[in-house]
Structure 1
Amino acid sequence: MVDIAHQAAINPASARSAATTRALVPLTSVDAGQWRALAQRAVEPNGYYLPGWMFAVSATARGRTDAAVLPVFDRSSTRLIGLMPVISLWRAWKIPLPALVSAHPYGTLCSPLLDERDAIEAATRLLQQAREAGAHALILRDVALDGAAMRSLSEALGRDRLKPRVLSSYIRASLDATQDGERMLREALGARKLKELRRQRHRLEEHGPVVFEIARRPDEIGPALETFLQLEASGWKGKRGTALAQDAGDAAFIRRAVLALAETAQCEIVTLRAGTSPVAAGIVLRHQDRAFFFKLGIDEHFAKCSPGVQLTLELTRHLCGDPAITSADSTASADHPMINPIWRGRFAIGDVLIPLRRHDPVVALIHAALAGRNAAYEAARRVVRRLRK
């Protein structure tokens, strides 16, 4: 069920009416078939808002369970044309103001799903659903600022003479998979760096033939996932306690999600082996013509051979050779030291405040609260960087 306390935090007076109109519904109540059909028609791919992924997140993932959804139907109320998983502003950041925040899907992309057949209408109705749920604003986290979903929302807002406000942004790496993989790698890395990487690969070959494996089918993806989980937990993420296998909820989520997406050919696990030893593995989601590089795990005993880079080189060749894929989102942080030199495409990701009412003092309060939070966060990051130096 939708958490009534969270709904009341949005607007206590409207909690009952919102439940009646079903503007805000439990994520698990959305028909999976309708959701899958919408995902196939979505104006912008988002592998992290596929139903198999989000059902698994909402069921068990640490700190991400029990999300709600703003569902949007066409005029006949029979076809799902828009969908955005959300939580309250209170649940997201302990701010007691009436706003909804895109639910974080255990992946750094929260662009909502809007039907490409009428994306503007879907966006308009999504905003109205949020109003009916009692929200004065929507906060989209990690949205593609120049993506089709954000453009549709901006146009829908413009009809009401409203404008989105970018709260924060960064640039992250992407891959143009329509290029020839080998040529792209030569242009990105240069002859000298490629020569060094070939030398490191030869060092890996001292442990046995280096093989790049791709697991797609449900019967093969399960064992490949266990290999990935072991690699991730063996490295620095394991030391920090942030590896997926170290939390029962996270481990249950990823096992359920990967198997669910394998059933619809929307997930693959890539593994690099040196002889019998797996040295690196990664999870890749697929939605429409786009791939999403979710996570990477390596065996740090082979660190001098750059196993993560070696795997990414093979993944780049694989994606560039796949006619079904035209681009790949690294889903990495800004200035990521491993992926940025290899994938040279760039696009803007940001957090966006979408006001739902004109001249609304509550929206000003929400904006001020978020700006204060962001300023405190950046100040803390600067202190941490100084301490590390």
Structure 2
Amino acid sequence: MLRRATSWPAGQEARNDSSESLRPRRQRAFLLYGGYRIVLARSPEAIGPCLEGWEALAREAAEPNVFYSPWALLPALEHLVGDKRFALLFLVRQGGSEEGPVLDGFFPLFEPSGCGLLPRTVARMFRHRYCFSVTPLVRRGREPAVMRAFLRWLHAHRRQYPLLLLRDAPADGPLAAALRTALGNEGLRCHEGARRSRALIEPGDDAERYLERAMSAKRRKEYRRLGRRLGELGELRLRVLQPRGEDLQAWLSAFLALESKGWKGESRSALGCRTACRRYFEAVATAAYARGQLMMLELSLDRRPLAMLCDFLAPPGAFSFKVAFDEDYAQYSPGALLELECIRLLHELKDQGVQWMDSCAAPEGGLSNSLWLERKPLCTFVLSSGSPLADLWIDLYPYGKRLKGWWKRRQERLSDGWPSGSRTAGG
């Protein structure tokens, strides 16, 4: 439980005498942020009093996001952020006399910087190379109130945060609905970019029936044939990381070695190629395992790993994180064979409350896009905090994108040797 108000960090936003409210002045003292007090932390040391409530909020969020859980975000601050400036917003509601303060919302932001067509005054939801969701943590049932309070805070700080970018945020669901409603009620402008979607799996009652719907009979037969051929080469074994009694460091070391062996190692993009990335991975995986939220699978041949995957559980959801396979055995598709076993395991985890898994994959490709039936709609939101210049940018942004697209197409035509202004080379 959160500590009493007297223990909050000195940087808290308890008073905002110079800020303007969307409500009448006589109501400002209590309703400035819709009854919420904002605690702002700009360093890991300032988070202390919020940590316990943050842990509880991550478990009770309306839409889970493991990447914003303290055990995943704090290692990112330590190893991956570098000199980027960030602000962690904790929305605190005063509970009952016995309950005390309750943390209902968590919004981690990167401080304003430049971004494409946007000016250098755009803030962004916290994201790094291994963070695949920007969904804020909001307590279930408190979505409208928290979104309203956050937008009022944003409006009160419109000079410092004129624009806010949420790239590839969920386009549907309770948080997206609460955001759109709050924007309308508070009179703030927003641009919604084109929708995309990425693979999502919602396990059914039977794994084999799911696979029958996901793949043709010919494709299933081919995967069975590849499995038999692998088995003819030696002892083919599937292992699942157990909740207790495992040598976790051995699992993590094997994964890092397998990922670094292939093209990711050659391009220096594997986790083990950079000290900071390796330390982040080890810290996050260790914390997840201690909480029972780490899922790892291994397909091995004569105890030599052929394919491994690492995912995070956050019932009712789960998030795919990393997969690696031995490219020397690519002709046998060990990664795909392991993915099929993962689908079967997810169906077994339904009894433990896992109702879906986000692939966290690029919308346009990837193995999960061909094996998983469901899709998660995504949308990029650009929010104005209410300043005149920010409102102008929201109005002009669609035209800027069209102009940028036209210019890109024009340059491509010129690079292909097309005459300027013609529709075709022979035009």
Distance 1:92 1:68 in 2: 18
Secondary structure of 1:83's partner?
Answer: strand
More helix by share: 1
| 1:299 and 2:323 matched | no
Shift of the 336–179 alpha-carbon distance from structure 1 to 2, 3 Å rule, reads farther
Q: Report the count of equivalent residues.
A: 366
Distance 1:180 1:285 in 2: 22
| 1:119 and 2:143 matched | yes
Distance 1:65 1:182 in 2: 47
Give the structure-2-normalised TM-score: 0.78
Q: How does 1:318-357 map to 2 (within 5 A)?
A: 318-322=345-349, 323=351, 324-357=353-386
Q: Per-residue deviation at 1:60?
A: 0.1
| 1:54 and 2:80 matched | no
Distance 1:36 1:210 in 2: 40
Q: Alpha-carbon deviations, 1:225-263, whole Å to 9, x = none?
A: 211111111112112211111111111111111111111
Distance 2:201 2:226 in 1: 23
Contact 2:80–2:276 (CA under 8 A) maintained in structure 1: yes
Q: Per-residue deviation at 1:65?
A: 6.1
Aligned residue among 183, 188, 204 for 1:157: 183
Residue in 2 that maps onto 1:312: 339
Distance 1:128 1:57 in 2: 28
Aligned residue among 108, 121, 125 for 1:102: 125
Q: Per-residue deviation at 1:329?
A: 0.6
- Where relative contact order (Cα < 8 A, 6+ residues apart) is larger, the structure is 1
Q: Alpha-carbon deviations, 1:199-243, whole Å to 9, x = none?
A: 111122123232222225475332212111111111121122111
| 1:173 and 2:199 matched | yes
Shift of the 27–48 alpha-carbon distance from structure 1 to 2, 3 Å rule, reads farther
More displaced 10-residue stretch of structure 1: 319-328 or 207-216: 207-216
Aligned residue among 64, 79, 83 for 2:102: 79
Q: Which amino acid aligns with 2:392?
A: A
Give the structure-1-normalised TM-score: 0.85
Q: Alpha-carbon deviations, 1:76-97, whole Å to 9, x = none?
A: 5821110111102316669654
Q: Per-residue deviation at 1:330?
A: 0.5
Distance 2:398 2:126 in 1: 16
Q: How does 1:1-389 map to 2 (within 5 A)?
A: 24-26=40-42, 28=44, 29-30=46-47, 31-61=50-80, 67-75=86-94, 78-90=101-113, 96-105=119-128, 106-133=130-157, 134-217=160-243, 219-322=246-349, 323=351, 324-357=353-386, 360-365=388-393, 368=396, 372=400, 375=404, 379=408
Secondary structure of 1:241's partner?
Answer: coil
Q: Which amino acid aligns with 1:114?
A: V
Larger radius of gyration: 2
Q: Per-residue deviation at 1:309?
A: 0.6
Shift of the 139–304 alpha-carbon distance from structure 1 to 2, 3 Å rule, reads same
Q: Which amino acid aligns with 2:184?
A: G
Distance 2:55 2:281 in 1: 19
Distance 1:367 1:296 in 2: 42
Contact 1:69–1:84 (CA under 8 A) maintained in structure 2: yes
Secondary structure of 1:45's partner?
Answer: coil
Contact 2:84–2:110 (CA under 8 A) maintained in structure 1: no
Contact 2:117–2:400 (CA under 8 A) maintained in structure 1: no
Q: Alpha-carbon deviations, 1:83-121, whole Å to 9, x = none?
A: 111102316669654332101142221111111131111
Q: Per-residue deviation at 1:350?
A: 2.4
More displaced 10-residue stretch of structure 1: 347-356 or 42-51: 347-356
Distance 2:270 2:377 in 1: 27
Distance 2:133 2:185 in 1: 26
More displaced 10-residue stretch of structure 1: 239-248 or 310-319: 239-248
5+ residue gaps, structure 2, are 1-17, 20-36, 417-427
Distance 1:155 1:275 in 2: 57
